[in-house]
Amino acid sequence: MIIAIGGISNAGKSNLAKRLSDHYRNQSSIVLCQDDFANPTNEIPKINGHTNWEIPESLDFDKFYKKIIESADSFKIVLVEGLFVYYEERLINLYDKSIYMSISKETFFKRKRKDLRWGKEPEWYLQYIWESHFRYCKEIDSRNDAFQFSGEVPIDFSSVINFLEI
């Protein structure tokens, strides 16, 4: 089973993927984080002198796609998480289950200001990240089989598991 977890930065995608991986640890699972398929930094366009991680050109989608297919042959559960997991139709067509996590703009800014993994981001870039998400990242409103919930409240993990096991 291939499970996609999408949503804006800091919505809780990685945490959910980790919890699901722990839950499925006895069933041969792997987590594929889209960040691991970023192009080399020097090949990513810049905006105002800042590496622009918030555009599809920042990722190697072919490599990501191939890794998902390869992993599906080797693992019972493949957890795919990232900003752009719903960007390409060929990716969307691979997923058996889709999860989308949303947060408010206020929560996004609050969390992103505390996220120092890549250093302190300028305020203009935080606004840019927010806008880019809605420009490039497809929400999955049209998919009846998608599980959507807020990343602002504690996850009702049992409801996620119930959704995945249907």
pLDDT tens digit sequence for 25-44: 888 999 999 999 999 999 99
Between 79 and 136, residue with greater pLDDT: 79
Tell me: pLDDT of 139 over 60.
no
The whole-number average pLDDT for the span 77-106 is 93
Q: b/e string for 6-20 if b means 16 or more Cβ within 10 A? A: bbbbbbbbeebbebb
Number of separate domains in the chain:
1
Between 22 and 149, residue with greater pLDDT: 22
Q: What is the chain's mean pLDDT, rounded? A: 90
> pLDDT value at position 144?
59
Both tokens of 5, joined, read 């977890």
From residue 42, alpha-carbon distances to 52, 118, 129 in Å are: 11, 16, 20
Helix (H, G, I), strand (E, B) or coil at 101: strand
Query: What domain range is 138 assigned to?
Result: 2-164
DSSP 47: E
> Which residue, among 61, 62, 113, 116, has the nearest Cα to 84 in the 3D structure?
61
pLDDT tens digit sequence for 52-86: 888 999 999 999 999 999 999 999 999 999 989 99
Placement of tokens 């998919």 in the chain:
143
Helix (H, G, I), strand (E, B) or coil at 57: helix
The CATH number of whichever domain residue 84 belongs to comes to 3.40.50.300
Q: How far apart are CA 80 and CA 36, in angstroms?
A: 11
* Share of the chain residues as helix, strand and coil, in percent rounded to the nearest 5: 45, 20, 35
Tell me: pLDDT of 141 over 70.
no
Would you call 162 exposed, middle or buried from its count of C-beta atoms within 10 A (0-12, 13-18, 19+)? exposed
> pLDDT value at position 143?
55
Q: How far apart are CA 16 and CA 2, in angstroms?
A: 15
Tell me: pLDDT of 104 over 70.
yes
> pLDDT value at position 72?
97
> pLDDT value at position 147?
87
